Amino acid sequence: MIDYPDINPEIVRVGPLAVRWYGMMYLIGFASSYLLVRKQIKERESMKAGRAGSASGPDGRTLPLAEVDTLYTYLIVGLLLGARLGYALFYNFSYYLRHPLEVFAVWQGGMSFHGGFIGSVIAGLLFCRHFKVDFWHAADLVIVTAPIGIGLGRIGNFINAELYGRPTDVPWAMVFPGAGPLPRHPSQLYEFFLEGVVLFAILWTLRGKEVKRGVLTSLFIILYGSFRFFVEFFREPDIQLGFVLGFLTMGQVLSGLMVLAGVLLFLYRKRASSA
């Protein structure tokens, strides 16, 4: 067994205000994604320099560098709203149905990746429709950077000693504060490695390949859903839900649907016009 590294979740506190590691992970994740999207656009602009043609592909206008700031304003709002509403809907619906105003009490915790992903997609669609940017082009630029924020978020979960794993006797098991005396899987670190490190390595490597628009987005959906489905076997089910479909957790149900949607999208985009 390994001792849990008891890290203070608060970086600094000034009176009633505190800067927490979890929030800092969100900021670093957004900033990293923003910078890498700008990097990709600049690389593509450099490749186009000296070549004839417009900035439009077969599916529509590509994302201009000048509009990245606006895109991220949409995405951040969509992600945060979607993550909170998704948690209320998927993981604690009966409670928030009785206490609807507490949906807005984000300081109490409770965010859903699947809800945040849906919120980001809706926000991206609204942005692309308003600014007449091809959605799949913008989605592929952003999605290859998404694992950075996801991985950092899992580190934040680990520091907060939340979303811990099921009891186990593996040599690297840890006793998490507030989770009882039993050693457990550090499932947050499993997710950090698969959903963060591995997923980023795969997508970032493929970004320079000649693939049709939307294929990278579909691969993200398939791979994230598969990794999350697998790790959920080691993660403690949400206490208010337990198992929701036989031996499956809510996270596995949502991730299974995500994989199915990703496969259908992959097949659809593979048949679309060339990138």
Q: Is residue 1 part of a domain?
A: no
Residue 252 lies in a domain: yes
CA dihedral 102, 106, 109, 112 (to 10 degrees): 100
Residue 33: pLDDT band (50, 70, 90) is very high
User: What is the rounded distance in angstroms from the CA atom of residue 60 to the CA atom of residue 194?
Assistant: 33
| 2 inside domain | no
Q: What is the DSSP letter of 186?
A: -
pLDDT tens by residue, 155-177: 999 999 999 999 999 999 999 99
Rounded distance between C-alpha atoms, residue 245 and residue 228, angstroms: 16
Residue 83 lies in a domain: yes
Kindly tell me if the per-residue pLDDT of 110 is higher than 90: no
Q: What pLDDT is attached to residue 48?
A: 72
CA–CA distance, 57 with 66 (Å, rounded to integer): 18
Domain housing 36: 22-45+58-270
Residue 16 tokens, joined: 């009633």
List, for residues 221-250, the tens digit of each pLDDT value: 999 999 999 999 999 998 888 899 889 999
Whether residue 141 lies inside any domain: the answer is yes
> Stretch 182-192: mean pLDDT, rounded?
98
Share of the chain above pLDDT 90, in %: 69
Contact 1, 174 (CB under 8 A): yes
* Cα–Cα distance for residue pair 65/240, rounded to 1 Å: 44
Domains in the chain, number: 1
Low-confidence winner among 40-44, 49-53, 211-215, 256-260 (lowest mean pLDDT): 49-53
For residue 20, the tally of other CB atoms under 10 A from its CB is 17
Is residue 9 a part of any domain in this protein? no
Tokens for 129?
Answer: 């429709």
Please give the full DSSP string across 4-26, using - where no structure is assigned.
Answer: -----SEEEEETTEEEEHHHHHH
* Binding-site residues from annotation: 154
Most distant pair of Cα atoms in the chain: their distance: 67
174 found inside a domain: yes
> Within a 13 Å sphere around the CA of 213, how many CA atoms are in the beta-carbon half?
20
How big is the chain by its Cα radius of gyration, in Å? 20
Instruction: Measure the CA–CA gap between 187 and 179, rounded to whole angstroms.
Output: 13
Query: Is residue 242 a part of any domain in this protein?
Result: yes
